[in-house]
Structure 1
C-alpha cells in the first residue's frame, strides 16, 4: 500500500485553497510528482517476466544466467542475430524507481537490489568494520550492478588488455577489443565527438555531468599545482571527468539499455526472481545441458541444446560452478560435492582496495553553493530531470596516477565526494554503506556539523594481494565465503600510503588554501596510539578502514590450458567442460586499472560474437 492508500477509507478534512506564489508552487510540485511517479522504475522499460509461465523440462537453445552488464548484452545480441530460443534468468527482480535517480545511488546498497555480500574476518584488513567484515555490494536485480553502481564508464588501460594477449589470450589486445567497446557506445557528450575516441551509434548513452560543482575547479587546479595533467577524457596518467551512463537525468542500466526492445523479440524470454541452483552436466560427455532453477518456490529443470552461459558476476559465477561440481577437488569433496572437473575456480580473486575517508573541512564562506532547498530540487528533477538529483556531484572527477613516477601505468585512483554542512542524509549513507565502527563515523559527522566536508578516496588499482572464494555449504541459497586477502602483500599497504601522501600534497596547494581546507583527524580507536599523519598512523588506518573498491575479478580466470589457475579459455569456454561458457568480469585475468562495469559490457559484446562465430578461433580443449 502506498502512503496515499492509508487515507482511502478515511474522511479527510482539507485546508482552504492555497494561494499566492507559494501555493501555486506547492500545487505545481504535487501535480508534477503525481504525473511523473510512474515514469521512474517503469516495468515497461524492461522485459516481461516469463518466470511464471516456465515449465519443468522446457528446452531452449541458450540459457544465460545473470542479467548484469555482460548477461544483458549477450541475451540481446544473440536474440537479434539469430532465431535461437534464448532464456535469460535473473535472481533479482525489477529495479526500483530510486535506482533511476543518479544522486540516490548510495541508498541502493544493503537493499533487496543488493546481494549484500561481505568478506570473512581477517587479521590484516577490515579491522574496524563491524564484525570485522568489509561489505561487498553487488546488484541483485535486472541490470545487475549497473543498476546500483555510480554509473561511471571507464574502459581501462590499453597496456592491461595488451598484457592479456601477451599471456596467450588471443583476440584480447586493446586494438582487438576496442571495436566491441565502440559498438556499445553512443557518445552524447558533444565536446568529445571530434576526438573520435568513442562510439557514436551504439545503444549505451555516455554523457558528462550537466552541473559543474563549485569545488570542481579547485580539485583540478590543485592537481595541476602538484604537477599532474588534466585531460578531456580518459587516457594517460592524470585527472579527467569520466563519462557516465546517465541520459537526460536518468540512470541507464544495462537491462534498460539492451533489453528494452526484448518485448519485440519472440525468441527471448526473461525470468526474474529466478535463482539458478545448479548447472546440469552430462557426466559421460562432460557437457552442460541445462540448469536447475528455483522460481517462486518451484524447482525446474530447464535444458539448453546449444550452450549454458554463466554471467552471474565475480562472486556468483564461481559459486555456481562449484555447486555444479566444477572447482577445487579438495574443497568440493569437503562438502560432499562430486567433482566433475577439477579447476581452480575462485582461487585467484583480485579486487580494488579503497581507503575511503580522507576528510577535509572547507570554509563555508569561501564556497558558493547553489540553492539546496529539497522541495525546489525535487521539483527540478521531477519536472525536468534537472538539478542536483540528476547527477552525481564530484564523483565523476577521477585521478589515475602512479605513486612511483609520472610515467608508466597508473597504480592508484582518486575519487572525491562533497558533503554539505549538516547533511545528515549523506552521513547516514556513510554509516550504512561502510559499516564502520560508530566512533569513526561520528568523528566525520562531528566535522560535518560545523563545515562542508570533502571526502577523498584513494584506490589501489593493481593489488598484489590475492583472495579466494569458497562455498559456505552445499545450500545454493547461502552466500559464499569471501576471503579477500586484502593487504596480505605488504607492497599494497605501502602503495596506498604513498597515494595518501599525494592527497596531503594536494590539500596544501594554493587552490585548497583558498577554501581554508583542513585535514580532519578522524578518530579511529585502534589507531589512537599513533600520531596523526605519521607513516605508522596511516598504515594502521589503512588496515582498519580500507575496504572494497567494488571491482572483483579473476575468480574464473581466462588463460591457456597450461595455466594451472585458468578456468576458461580465450573463447570463454570452461576448460574441460563442453557447451559451457563464463561471460562476465570473473574471467578478467588482471586488472584493467578501472572499474569493471565498462569492461564487463565489452566482454558481453565480444563474448556474443565468439558464440556466433562457433569454433572458428580456438578449439575447445579437453583438460
Structure 2
C-alpha cells in the first residue's frame, strides 16, 4: 500500500504545541504540518450538532430532511431570514479529513460516508460484477454526494431545461433557472470572468485545474483531428476543462459552503446521525405536520408549522415518502403500509450509464516530470495544499460528442483518467468501487505493469431505459430496492457502442500514435466467447461492466397533476398532500447533460425561493 492509502486508515492525531530551543526549526515544521492536517475535516467549518438538544414535540417553522447538496442549499437560504426557525436533519455525520483531499475522492465510496446502495440483479446489466450488482454511491454525510463526488461543476445543455418547460413545468426553462445557478456560484477562474457565464457573488468557489502533462494535449489534439472543437469553457458539444468545487487544494462541499456561512445563526439547527423514519401526516387534512426521527437511542417526534421539505436524494426521498404512506397503493399495501395518497413515487428513475474501463496503454512520453514519491507529495499537500493530492488529475477534461450526424445535442460524454505505470492505488480503487471481478482487474493491472494506462469513461447521456425505487420492507433501517432498468431498451446499447467506436477512432489519430497508444483487451469472463473489438464483444462488455454514471434523477418527478408519473408540481409541492415539498434531484424529470451537483444546488436555490415566495404571498394577502 502506498503512503496515500495508509493515510486514509491511520489518520495522525493532533498534538499540543511543541516548544523548546533545540531543533526549533524542525519542530516548527512538524507543528505546521500537524496543524495543517488538523484543518482538514474540521467540525468548525459546520454548524454545531444540535441533535442532543432536541426533545420530543419540539416545533420549528421548517424541517428539512437531508443535509446533502440540495438540502444544505435550501436550509441556508431559509435560515438567512431570521424569522424562520429551521431544523435540518442528516442521517450521516461530519465529513472526514479524507473527504477534503481531492485526489482521494474515489476512496470515499463504500465507506461510512456512503449509503452503499446497489442495484438488484438483472438479466440486462451489471452481469460481470461481483454478485451481479452495480454499486450506487450516495453521500451519507453532511454535504451528501457533494462530499464524496469528483467535484466537477457543469450545468448541462440549455435545451434539456427548456424541455422541462414544454412538459408544463412553468418557471423551469433555462432562462428561468440560470439566475439560480448564479446565486450559488463564485467564479474564481480568472480567465473566464470577462465572459460573464457564471456568477461571481455566490458562496460556492469555482476553480479550474489543468493537468500539465503531455497526455492532456494529446487528448485535445486528437479531438481536433476528429473535427471537434476545443473550448475554454463549458459548451453544448465539444471538449473543455470543467470547473471544479475545489479551493486552494481542498474540496468545497455544499454543507461547508452554505451551512458554514450561517453556522452561527440561532435560528438554524442541524442534527447529525438523525435518521427520519417517517413523515407525520394528518390523514384527515392530508397535510404534513412533522417527522418521526431516530437520534442515537431515542426516537422522537418533531413538528413543522409551515412545511416539511424532503431533500434526501433520488433514492431516499421516494423511500421516505413511501414509508409515510405516499406512493403506489398496491406496492404499499403489499408491505402493510396504509396509503394516504396513491401516486407513482419511485417510478421514472433515470441515470447516466457509463462504460468505465476502455483501457489504452501509452508510452513514457505521455507523462513527463512525474514525481510520485509519497513522502514528497504528502509534504507538498500538508505544507502548501499543492501537488497531485490537491487535484483530480485529468478528471475535469470532458468531451461531449454526438453519434448522430451534424447534431449539436450530445448523447455521449467522454472522461479520462491517467494511471501512472506500476500504480499501486488508483487501480485498486477502481476494483473496489466498480465491484470488478478478479480476472477483469488483473488484465488492467497487467497492462499497467510496463505502461501508463489511460482509462476512458464513455457515458450515455440520454438513456431511454428507466427504472424504479421500491421498498424492500417497511423498516426505515432497511435499504430500498434500486432497479435502475439499465439497458432494458436495446437502443441504449447501440448508442453506447457507437460512443466506443468514437473512442477507438480517437486513439488511432496521429496524436495518439505518437504515444504508441494500444488498446487493452480487458478480460471479462462472460465475454471470452466473443472476438475482441467486434460488436458482439462490446455489447457483451457493456452489459457486463457498464455501470452508473452517478446521476440518478426522476423518482419524485416534477410535472403537472395530469402527468401519471409526476409526484410534485412545478412549485415542488407533493401532489395531493399539503405542507410537503421535495427539493432535490429526485424532482428532475429528465437528466441534464451536466454534472448533477450543479443542478442539485440550482434546485435547492430555486426551491427555497419558491417556498419563501409562497409564504411572502400569504403574508401580503393577510395584511
Would you say same fold, with TM above 0.5?
yes
Tell me the secondary structure at the aligned position of residue 492 of structure 2. Answer: helix
Q: Which residue of 1 aligns with 2:99?
A: 99
Higher mean displacement: 187-196 or 377-386: 377-386
- Asked if the contact 1:360–1:519 (Cα under 8 Å) also holds between the matched residues in 2, the reply is yes
For 2:180 and 2:295, locate their aligned partners in 1 and report how far apart those are by CA, in whole Å: 34
Distance in 2 separating the partners of 1:272 and 1:343: 30
**Alignment match, 1:65:** 65
**Mapped partners of 1:297, 1:31: distance in 2:** 39
Q: Which residue of 2 aligns with 1:592?
A: 592
Q: Distance in 2 between matches of 1:385 and 1:492?
A: 42
Q: Secondary structure at the match of 2:209?
A: coil
Match of 1:249 in 2: 249
Q: What residue in structure 1 maps to residue 425 of structure 2?
A: 425
Partner of 2:579: 579
Distance 1:609 1:126, change over 3 A: same
Compared CA separation, residues 435 and 475, structure 1 to 2 (3 A): same
Which residue of structure 2 lines up, in the alignment, with residue 153 of structure 1?
A: 153
Q: How far 1:36 sits from its partner (Å)?
A: 1.2
Structure 2 SS opposite 1:302: strand
Cα offset for 1:280? 0.2
Asked whether the equivalents of residues 318 and 345 of structure 1 are also in contact (C-alpha less than 8 Å), the reply is yes
Distance in 2, Cα, partners of 1:286 & 1:106? 43
Q: Does 1:399 align with 2:399?
A: yes
Contact 1:366 1:514 in 2 (8 A): no
**Structure 2 residue 212 is matched with structure 1 residue 212:** yes
Residue 500 (structure 2) aligns with: 500
CA contact (8 A) 2:187 2:193 kept: yes
Q: Give SS of 2:498's match.
A: helix
Equivalent-residue separation in structure 2 for 1:368 and 1:29 (angstroms): 30
Q: Counterpart of 2:76?
A: 76
Q: Which residue of 2 aligns with 1:314?
A: 314
User: What is aligned with 1:521?
Assistant: 521
Q: Would you say 1:380 and 2:384 are equivalent positions?
A: no
Q: Aligned-pair distance for 1:375?
A: 1.0
Structure 1 residues 576 and 509, CA gap change in structure 2 (3 angstroms)? same
Q: How does 1:265-344 map to 2 (within 5 A)?
A: 265-344=265-344
Return the alpha-carbon distance in structure 2 between the equivalents of residues 4 and 152 of structure 1. 29
Aligned partner of residue 505 in structure 1, secondary structure: helix
Q: Helix, strand or coil: the match of 2:279? A: strand
Could you report, residue by residue, the CA deviation over 1:516-540 in whole angstroms, capped at 9, with x for unpaired residues?
1100000111111111101111000
Q: Which residue of 2 aligns with 1:621?
A: none
Q: Is residue 2:196 matched to residue 1:203? A: no
Deviation of residue 362 (structure 1)? 0.9
The alpha carbon displacement at 1:214 in A equals 3.1
1:363 aligns with 2:340: no
> For 2:523 and 2:487, how far apart are their aligned partners in 1?
22
Instruction: Decide whether the 8 Å contact of 1:78 with 1:608 is kept in 2.
Output: yes
Contact 2:210 2:241 (C-alpha < 8 Å) held by counterparts: no
Match of 1:462 in 2: 462
Asked if the contact 2:213/2:367 (under 8 Å) is kept, the reply is no
Tell me how far apart the structure 1 counterparts of residues 559 and 150 of structure 2 sit (CA, whole Å). Answer: 30
| Alpha-carbon distance between aligned partners in 2 of 1:570 and 1:366, rounded to the nearest angstrom | 49
Query: Which residue of structure 1 aligns with residue 411 of structure 2?
Result: 411
Q: 1:467 to 1:384 in 2, by over 3 A?
A: same
CA positional deviation for 1:407: 2.3
The residue aligned with 2:6 is: none
Q: Residues 6 and 171 from structure 1, CA distance in 2 versus in 1: closer, same or farther, beyond 3 angstroms?
A: closer
2-side partners of 1:523 and 1:224: how far apart?
31
Distance of aligned partners of 1:106 and 1:201 in 2 relative to their CA distance in 1, 3 Å threshold? same
Asked whether the equivalents of residues 213 and 393 of structure 1 are also in contact (C-alpha less than 8 Å), the reply is: no
* 5+ long unaligned stretches in structure 1: 9-16, 619-623
Note the C-alpha offset of 1:405.
2.2
Answer yes or no: is the 8 Å Cα contact 2:214–2:365 preserved in 1.
no
- State the shift of 1:223 in Å: 0.5
Equivalent residue of 1:38, what SS?
A: helix
Specify whether residues 550 and 3 from structure 1 end up closer, same or farther in structure 2 by C-alpha distance, changes over 3 A only.
Answer: closer
Show structure 1 runs of 4+ deviating over 4 A. 1-8, 26-29, 615-618
The whole-number CA distance in structure 1 between the counterparts of 2:421 and 2:459 is 26
Alignment CA distance shift 1:2-1:543 (3 Å): closer
The Cα of 1:82 is off from its aligned counterpart by 4.2
Question: Are positions 1:52 and 2:56 aligned together?
Answer: no
Q: Greater shift after overlay, 30-39 or 123-132?
A: 30-39
Given that residues 214 and 366 in structure 2 are in contact (C-alpha distance below 8 angstroms), is that contact kept between their aligned partners in structure 1?
no
Task: State the shift of 1:206 in Å.
Answer: 0.3
CA distance in 2, matches of 1:239, 1:492: 23
2:545 aligned with 1:545, yes or no?
yes
**Cα offsets for 1:26-73 (capped at 9, x unmatched):** 877644431212110000001100001100010001000001111001
> Is 589-598 or 335-344 further displaced after alignment?
589-598
Contact 1:213 1:394 (8 Å CA) reproduced: no
For 2:63 and 2:351, locate their aligned partners in 1 and report how far apart those are by CA, in whole Å: 28
* Alignment partners' CA distance in 1, 2:15 and 2:262: 38
Change beyond 3 A, Cα 1:311–1:347: same
Q: Please report the TM-score for the alignment, with normalisation by the length of structure 1.
A: 0.95
Q: How does 1:173-184 map to 2 (within 5 A)?
A: 173-184=173-184
Q: 1: distance between equivalents of 2:469 and 2:561?
A: 21
